[in-house]
Structure 1
Amino acid sequence: MHLARAALRARSAQSPRTVARRPAGFELRGLRPILQAALGRGRGAYHQQHGLEIVEARLFNTVGPGQTGAYGMVMPRFVAAAVEGRPLDLYGDGRQRRCFCDVRDVIEAVVSLMRNSRCHGRVFNVGSDCCISITELAQRVISLTGSRSGTRLVPYERVYGADFEEPRERRPDLTRLREAIGFAPRFSLERTILDIARSMRNAKTPQLAVA
């Protein structure tokens, strides 16, 4: 963590205005793989030496009802905009592809991994490997919510700064997860979008007091 704090201070000193506009946690993205690898080795060694039952689950784009878009998560941000009739902002060109997995499927997978002794001491990617472009996601959200919202492209540098780099596609390899627990998501992307929209609408509906 000392390394992470030093990197944050260095970036803030170089470009304070740009950093101030970035979503919370952005500056740690470059260090995340390094920190994950270091922590993973430490957990693996502890498992071997002391027999501690450890399973490492690496989550990829977990989404679901109750999620907030405050930290830049695209799914709740899109659904909130559609429900409120605002334009859906697509960062970059909208052609980047991502995979989304419902939190309810993720929970089942993590619990199954914890209960399976053959999974202890191992690392698993948990998520979906069905990709969709951000533009297609926005269109699907608008269609499913019955919204009249449109979309608009927002340059990366306006949100993240000029030095931002975005992978064109992020797709986890789920081979190990499927072999270990037979993982197969039950919640479709459409179902997840509808449930997120429903939860957002319910949160804005005044609840009648029960005597």
Structure 2
Amino acid sequence: MTNKKPILGRKRILITGGAGFLGSHLSERLLGDGHDVLCVDNFFTGTKDNILHLLDNPHFEHMRHDVTFPLYVEVDEIYNLACPASPIHYQFDPVQTTKTSVHGAINMLGLAKRVKAKIMQASTSEVYGDPAVHPQTEDYCGNVNPIGIRSCYDEGKRCAETLFYDYFRQHNLRIKVARIFNTYGPRMHPNDGRVVSNFIVQALRGEPISVYGDGQQTRSFCYVDDMVEAFVRLMNTPDDFTGPVNVGNPDEFTIRELAEKVIALTGSKSKIVNKPLPSDDPKQRQPDIALARTKLGWSPTIALDQGLPKTVAYFDNLLKKDP
């Protein structure tokens, strides 16, 4: 991989959760930009398969480590992506999920403070809960159930944001906070229970497609390349801009529309089957990205009809290798 930047412009960049879906794509991007990347992951949901193609790059290093324990390395920037992000995974061990968000944030903020690194927190649209405001703007405080089955993730991420802003105010730390909306693309975990991967895997296997509720709840789907571009732009904004900033695709689709698109794209004979709606499942999710457009000069460029075929191709290849 050729470097686009001279060696003097090279940064040492830590990505926690670096072997995950988003982390592996971000690693690839930052290496392509000419930086040294340290990928840290405990491989709970991340997989070495996601980074195999990077292991021969002399500017890439990976370390098995759990962010709930302190980490002592020398870096210039930190992207804190570590945390299971799908309900199936984060509800498997909810206490550990909260620890990953909260203790992980404390440990990474402490590292950033020690080495004077700039740090970005991968927050989530889940901080808005089941929103009473639509679309969601960054000044909306949310409608979150603090004791529900999703709370370990929702409240863990909200607490992480609190910690980031307290470190910013108390220690003058250089922080960035991105609130990520639904993202999809190659390297999603096939068993993560998320709607895009679920529908594609079920359609390719010819299984019934599980739509929870009546399928009229809405989501907005951002392709992974667009999301990574937003991360890099956010990290490179002036220090006086911290966010939080919504990053996602504002194009809104019902879950049933997505199921129908996947069936058409795969040529599957799968039938749509309605199942009970899970507890605290948001009815609407759509980002207002006016702030991202203004401050990052960013908006998504890859529509669902462009990104979905690439994602289907990835899963088709994966299932052929390991049906």
Same fold (TM over 0.5): yes
Answer yes or no: is the 8 Å Cα contact 2:289–2:299 preserved in 1.
Answer: no
**2: CA distance, partners of 1:116 / 1:31:** 31
Runs (5+) with no aligned partner, structure 1? 1-21, 207-211
Q: Percent identity?
A: 32
The amino acid across from 1:128 in the alignment is N
Answer yes or no: is the 8 Å Cα contact 1:144–1:190 preserved in 2.
Answer: no
Of 204, 208, 231, which aligns to 1:83?
Answer: 204
Of 200, 204, 207, which aligns to 2:315?
Answer: 200
**1: CA distance, partners of 2:197 / 2:319:** 15
1:65 pairs with 2:186: yes
The amino acid across from 2:178 in the alignment is A
Of 117, 125, 131, which aligns to 2:252?
Answer: 131
1:94 pairs with 2:215: yes
Deviation, 1:181, is 1.4
**1: CA distance, partners of 2:313 / 2:270:** 17
1:115 pairs with 2:236: yes
**2: CA distance, partners of 1:145 / 1:154:** 22
Give the equivalent residue in structure 2 for 1:141: 262
1:25 pairs with 2:90: yes
Q: Deviations over 1:140-167 (max 9, x none)?
A: 11111222222111123xxx4xxx1322
Give the equivalent residue in structure 2 for 1:38: 159
Q: Which has the higher contact order (CA 8 A, sep 6+)?
A: 1
The normalised TM-score by structure 2 is: 0.51
**2: CA distance, partners of 1:46 / 1:107:** 25
Runs (5+) with no aligned partner, structure 2? 1-86, 92-147
Deviation, 1:68, is 2.0
**1: CA distance, partners of 2:170 / 2:275:** 50
Deviation, 1:204, is 3.5
Name the CA shift for 1:53/1:78 in 2 (closer, same or farther; >3 Å).
Answer: same
Q: Which has the higher helix share?
A: 1
**1: CA distance, partners of 2:182 / 2:303:** 14
Answer yes or no: is the 8 Å Cα contact 1:55–1:114 preserved in 2.
Answer: yes
Q: Provide the secondary structure at the position in 1 that maps to 2:189.
A: coil
Give the equivalent residue in structure 2 for 1:174: 289
Q: Deviations over 1:67-111 (max 9, x none)?
A: 124232000110111112111110111111111111111000011
Deviation, 1:131, is 0.9
Name the CA shift for 1:54/1:28 in 2 (closer, same or farther; >3 Å).
Answer: farther
Question: How many residues are aligned here?
Answer: 179
The normalised TM-score by structure 1 is: 0.76
**1: CA distance, partners of 2:216 / 2:240:** 36
**2: CA distance, partners of 1:78 / 1:152:** 11
The amino acid across from 2:176 in the alignment is V
Q: Provide the secondary structure at the position in 2 that maps to 1:169.
A: coil
Give the equivalent residue in structure 2 for 1:8: none
